[in-house]
Amino acid sequence: MIEKKRVLDTFFELVSIRCSTLDEREIGDLLTARLKELGAAEIHEDNAGEILGGNCGNIIANFKGTVKDAPVLMLTAHMDCVEPCANIKPVLKDGVIRSDGTTILGTDDKAGVAAILETLRCLKEGNISHGDLQVVFNVAEEGGVNGSQNIDQNLLHADFGYTLDTHGHPGTAAFKAPGKNQLEVRIQGKTAHAGIAPEAGHNAITAAGHVLTAVPQGRIDEETTCNVGKITGGTATNVVAEFCTICFESRSRDKAKLDAITQRIVDSVNTAIEGTGCTVDIAVKKDYDPYELSPDALPLRYLRKAAEKCGFPVHLEEAGGGSDANFYNSYNIPTAVLAVGMTDCHTKEESILEQDLYDAAELTLALVQEVAAKH
């Protein structure tokens, strides 16, 4: 059984450590030490941090099981948080944990990290039977799941896994998630003095206005969205703007729809720019592909059994955002995303029910036991 006070103390310790994206060294060193204390047979840190310009890589730890022939189970969570994540002061009141209102709380994803650590502690202290385990703590999840994208795949050998990193009560899981593309539209105009000879120029910002009214935006259908997220351009009010850059994203849980909406944006931009005197360059970058687990996939089969033993209802949902699981699924490791109770993530109003923190750890431990019990 989990120890609630230990789970709470661990969570409070984790969120008190600043862990900005690409600056995960302190939390990475702490987790490496914890994994060693908990009996990891091997601990690796890959070079994802070096690739991304950060100071810490993904941490991959292998735990030798006591049950032969059981599938190798992977448990993952990410180390980094969105800003502001320095000097977090968690406050527990009436069964709810919040920050003091000046920062985020950091449940995304320290609630997942805490659940994994408590599971490992219980396995060791209780001498609980389990199969081989891989524990992966990713860097740079926020802002593009870049840590898992650049993980050393040679270090991965799990048969299936769980990424502990979504909202909802434990027992909720995302079995389907969208892929995402990013588009950078660079409009090139012609500069001129705005007061003396504006007609001699071609205003890139004006051309951008044509683009913004032409491209699809918002929700396209129940599984497809696109968004204009950033626009920059020009140098001064007395200069006809020579350049303007617009940044878009497109998402869909259907790969064909993702490709279609991305191409629709590209076509709309090219059509809108005609007659403006400007030229355009469009760069499309794939962040990750969508995934969908079948109803009988290993992660969902074991989830149903473990949740039933814990008394937690199972709720399977189609996610609207990506996670490290998108890449793990692309690496042929079927991975579901488990809820850990996080609410209002990425805001200073972020919170988590104290009980959800405990239930996430209890369910994670039950999953490990269920995999072993089958064999």
Banded pLDDT at 366 (limits 50, 70, 90) = very high
Q: Distance (Å, rounded) from C-alpha 341 to C-alpha 149?
A: 25
Confirm if 209 and 187 have CB atoms less than 8 A apart. no
Which backbone phi and psi does 227 adopt, to 5 degrees?
-150, 140
With contact defined as beta carbons under 8 Å apart, do 322 and 287 qualify? yes
pLDDT of residue 372: 94
CA distances from 172 to 85, 144, 223, 317 (A): 26, 23, 19, 7
What CATH number belongs to 4-177+290-373?
3.40.630.10
**CA-CA-CA-CA torsion sign (53, 58, 59, 64):** negative
Residue 349: alpha-carbon gap to chain centroid: 19
Residues in the chain: 375
**Beta carbons of 132 and 318 less than 8 angstroms apart:** no
Count of beta carbons in the 10 Å neighbourhood of residue 36? 11
Residue 39 confidence class, pLDDT cut points 50, 70, 90: very high
| Mean pLDDT computed over 125-154 | 96
Indicate the pLDDT class of residue 144, thresholds 50, 70 and 90: confident
Contact, 166 vs 174, CB < 8 A? yes
All residues at 6 or more sequence positions from 13 whose CB lies less than 8 Å from its CB, including other chains: none
Q: Beta strands 315-318 and 133-138: pairing type? A: unpaired
Q: Do domains 4-177+290-373 and 179-288 have the same CATH topology?
A: no
Residue 143 pLDDT > 90, yes or no?
Answer: no
Task: List C-alpha distances in Å: 300 to 175, 296, 334.
Answer: 8, 6, 10
Contacts of 20 (CB under 8 A, 6+ apart): 80, 81, 83, 85, 86
Q: Looking at the predicted structure, is the pLDDT value of residue 374 above 80?
A: no
Q: What is the pLDDT of residue 153?
A: 98
Q: How far apart are CA 247 and CA 227, in angstroms?
A: 9
Q: Which fold has domain 179-288?
A: Alpha-Beta Plaits (3.30.70)
- Which of 140-144, 247-251, 308-312 shows the lowest per-residue confidence on average (mean pLDDT)? 140-144
What pLDDT, on a 0 to 100 scale, did the predictor assign at position 1?
86
Read off the amino acid at residue 199.
Answer: E
pLDDT band at 38 (very low <50, low <70, confident <90, very high): very high
115 — pLDDT class (breaks 50, 70, 90): very high
d(CA 111, CA 357) in angstroms, rounded, equals 6
User: What is the rounded distance in angstroms from the CA atom of residue 14 to the CA atom of residue 27?
Assistant: 8
Told to judge if 141 belongs to the known catalytic residues of this protein, a careful annotator would answer yes
Catalytic site residue from 23, 24, 45, 80: 80
- Using one digit for the tens of pLDDT, what is the confidence trace for 80-95? 999 999 999 999 999 9
> What Å distances lie between residue 130 and 48, 119, 123, 370, 374, CA to CA?
30, 11, 8, 9, 10
Per-residue DSSP letter, 126 = T
The answer on pLDDT for 172 being more than 80 is yes
Please say whether the beta carbons of 273 and 207 come within 8 A. Answer: yes
- Asked if omega into 46 is within 30° of 0 (cis), the reply is no
Average pLDDT of the segment spanning 146-154 = 97
Rounded mean pLDDT, 106-127: 97
pLDDT value, residue 72: 97
Please tell me the predicted confidence (pLDDT) of residue 221. 96
pLDDT at position 17, please?
97
Q: What is the pLDDT of residue 273?
A: 97
**Which residues, including other chains, have CB under 8 Å from residue 1's CB and lie 6 or more apart?**
122, 362
Domain range list for the chain:
4-177+290-373, 179-288
The Cα–Cα gap between 187 and 233 comes to 9
Contact 52, 31 (CB under 8 A): no
Best CA proximity match to 153, nearest among 222, 245, 58: 58
| pLDDT tens per residue, range 346-365 | 999 999 999 999 999 999 99
Q: Is 249 a catalytic residue?
A: no
When the pLDDT of each residue in the chain is averaged and rounded to a whole number, the result is 97
Catalytic residue among 23, 141, 142, 354: 141
